[in-house]
Structure 1
């Protein structure tokens, strides 16, 4: 292959003639470039810096609503009254009479629970020692609010359970509430 042939294989450059489309294309590209640079502020006159709008935020704290204190709901279920039952039990547990079953019964009666629907276990064991735990209950329809306290249980424990098949809420011997 001769060098002359090689040159003949290369494409010939198209000359740019005045008014030709190629020249107009270069002009359009140049104009677009100038507009783009102007948009970037390269050709813009110096001016004051733009102010940034500010927002005003009210940081006044909104008071957190306090939950309502539990209360006796005579028309409610045992579950509806569990929080109130628990509150009364915890109040007695925090006092000096925490090892007295009578203290729990008296506090629950004062809070509106029906004494005739209550049961309580003995405070003392059969050999005269303080009971390891005391249980007490309030029968509420077909359910029972049951509480248990004592050194063996730690913090007071309260729960809703079904009434026993033979009636009542506590299994085993309970003391007569005759005061």
Structure 2
């Protein structure tokens, strides 16, 4: 055996202890980050989850952050969907008509050919007024085809907001409160009409 000085014997275990403590600290940090990310995902997922069919869960009201449904889903309605927009009708009935009109429009042409005008024209055909509508642009600021298109209709104190996702040709709709300016969509919108 080679000779080992007393100081060297102490240095090796201390170095291992420091490395072990650093490893534990990194592990604790990673676990804490995962817990925080999981909590954030649960909160965000809860904000955008569709309302439950059994009546449990958040109530659909404009004061809630938003009520989101996927128009392609087929909930079991208790009464028929409106055939045309009814300004005196319940917002939820008009939301169902809004989602149906957007879904039919999105399915009328290949997803790469759907434009915001395709969506707003379908809403106008269903009786929604063009003056109450907003839509996003078909092109991004980089002059590329927009991956999503968003349209809205302002009804009294609420907004019907719909989004078409080009990648999977899906449509989702929600009933939401207007933003502080009174508009339904944030940012620059394209003219409707």
> What's the TM-score once normalised by structure 1's chain length?
0.58
8 Å CA contact 1:85–1:145 kept in 2: the answer is yes
Query: Greater helix percent: which structure?
Result: 2
Aligned position for 1:79: 92
Q: Classify the secondary structure of the residue corresponding to 2:108.
A: coil
Q: Does 1:173 align with 2:174?
A: no
| Separation in structure 1 between the aligned mates of residue 117 and residue 159 of structure 2, nearest angstrom | 18
Q: Which residue of 1 aligns with 2:103?
A: 90
Matched residue SS, 1:84: helix
Deviations 1:1-30 (A, max 9, x none): xxxxxxxxxxxxxxxxxxxxxxxxxxxxxx
Max Rg structure: 1
- Offset from partner CA, 1:118-145 (integer Å, 9 cap, x none): 0000011112211010000000000000
**Cα distance, 1:154 vs. partner?**
4.8
Residue 133 of structure 1 corresponds to 148
Post-superposition, which runs of at least 4 consecutive aligned residues in structure 1 deviate over 3 A? none
Alignment of 1:14-163 (within 5 A): 68-71=80-83, 72-96=85-109, 98=111, 99-152=114-167, 154-163=169-178
Indicate if the aligned counterparts of 1:133 and 1:153 stay in contact, CA closer than 8 A.
no
Structure 1 vs Structure 2 CA RMSD: 1.9
CA distance in 1, matches of 2:110, 2:132: 22
Relative contact order, higher structure (CA 8 A, sep 6+) = 2
Unaligned runs of 5+ in 1: 1-65
Secondary structure, in 3 states, of the residue corresponding to 2:153?
A: strand
For residues 134 and 169 of structure 1, what CA distance do their matches in structure 2 show? 14
Q: Please, which runs of 5 or more residues in structure 2 have no aligned partner? A: 1-77
Distance 2:127 2:157 in 1: 19
Q: Judge conservation of contact 1:132–1:152 (CA < 8 Å) in 2.
A: yes
TM-score (norm 2): 0.54
- 1:164: Cα distance to partner? 1.1
